[in-house]
Amino acid sequence: MSSANLSHAETSERARLVTVHAYRVDVDIRDAANPDVDTFPVTSSIDLTSLATETWLDFLGEVDAVEVDGTAQPVEHDGARIALSSLPTGRPCTVTVRARGRYSRTGEGLHRFVDPADGETYLYTQYEPADARRVFPNLEQPDIRAPFTFSLTGPAGWWLGSNQPAASREEVADGVVRVGFEPTRTLSTYITCLVAGPYHRVTDTWGDMELGLMCRQSLARYLDADELFRLTKAGLDWLTANFGEYPWGAKYDQIFVPEYNLGAMENPGLVTFTEHYLFRSPATPAQLQGRANTLVHEMSHMWFGDLVTCRWWGDLWLKESFAEFMGSHVSVEACGFADGWVNFATSRKVGAYLADAMPTTHPIVADIPDLEAAKTNFDRITYSKGSAALTQLVHYVGLDAFLAGCRRYFRTHAFGAASLADFIAALDHETDRDLSGWIAAWLETSGHDRLSAHVDAHAGRLAGLRVRRDTPAGDSADRPHATTVGLYALTDGSLTLLRRLDVVIAGQETAVEVPSGLPAPDVVLVNDQDQTFARVELDARSREVLLYHVADLEPLARAVAWTALWSDVRAGLIAPAAFVAAVLRAGETQSGVLATLLDRAFTALDRYSDDPPVAALWREGGRGAALDAEPGSAEQQLWAKAYLRAAALAPEDVRWVLDGGIPGLEVSVDLTWLAWQSLATQGAASDAELAAALAADDTATGRMAHLRAVMSRPDPTLKEDAWRRAHTVGGETNEAVDALLAGFRAPGQDALRAPFTDRYLAGLLAVWREHPIEIAMRLVRGGFPADGAEAGRRWLSEHPDAPATLRRLVREEIFEADVAARVRSANAVELPAAERATVD
Contact 704, 738 (CB under 8 A): yes
What is the per-residue pLDDT across 143-177, written as a single tens digit (0 to 9) for each?
999 999 999 999 999 999 999 999 999 999 999 99
Average pLDDT on 83-89 reads: 95
Q: What is the pLDDT of residue 833?
A: 55
Contacts of 192 (CB under 8 A, 6+ apart): 125, 127, 132, 148, 150, 162, 163, 184, 267
Average pLDDT on 106-132 reads: 96
1 pLDDT more than 70? no
What is the per-residue pLDDT across 683-717, written as a single tens digit (0 to 9) for each?
999 999 999 999 999 999 999 999 999 999 999 99
Q: Helices in 550-633 by DSSP H: which ranges?
A: 555-570, 576-586, 591-606, 612-628
Using only the alpha carbons of the chain, give its radius of gyration: 28
- What's the pTM value of the predicted model, to 2 decimals? 0.94
Q: What is the pLDDT of residue 817?
A: 95
Q: What is the pLDDT of residue 295?
A: 98
- Provide the pLDDT confidence category of residue 365 given band limits of 50, 70 and 90: confident
Q: What is the pLDDT of residue 717?
A: 97
Q: What is the pLDDT of residue 39?
A: 98
836 pLDDT more than 60? no
391 pLDDT more than 50? yes
What is the per-residue pLDDT across 488-525, written as a single tens digit (0 to 9) for each?
999 999 999 999 999 999 889 999 999 888 999 999 99
Q: What is the pLDDT of residue 718?
A: 97
Q: What is the pLDDT of residue 835?
A: 56
The closest alpha carbon to 553, from 582, 586, 514, 520, belongs to: 586
Contact 678, 648 (CB under 8 A): yes
Percent of the chain exceeding pLDDT 90 equals: 85
Q: What is the pLDDT of residue 482?
A: 86
The burial class, CB within 10 Å (0-12 / 13-18 / 19+), for 389 is buried
Percent of the chain exceeding pLDDT 70 equals: 98
What is the per-residue pLDDT across 531-549, written as a single tens digit (0 to 9) for each?
999 999 999 999 999 999 9
Q: So which residues are the catalytic ones?
A: 298
Q: What is the pLDDT of residue 839?
A: 41
Q: What is the pLDDT of residue 832?
A: 55
Contact 22, 149 (CB under 8 A): yes
Helix (H) or strand (E) holding 212: strand 209-215
Paired sense of beta strands 176-181 and 166-173, if any? antiparallel
What is the per-residue pLDDT across 567-602, written as a single tens digit (0 to 9) for each?
999 999 999 999 999 999 999 999 999 999 999 999
- Provide the pLDDT confidence category of residue 610 given band limits of 50, 70 and 90: confident
The closest alpha carbon to 806, from 58, 2, 231, belongs to: 2
Q: What is the pLDDT of residue 840?
A: 39
User: At 281, which amino acid appears?
Assistant: S
Contact 49, 93 (CB under 8 A): yes
The burial class, CB within 10 Å (0-12 / 13-18 / 19+), for 78 is exposed
670 pLDDT more than 90? yes
Distance between CA 656 and CA 654 in Å, rounded?
5
Distance between CA 163 and CA 182 in Å, rounded?
9
Q: What is the pLDDT of residue 441?
A: 86
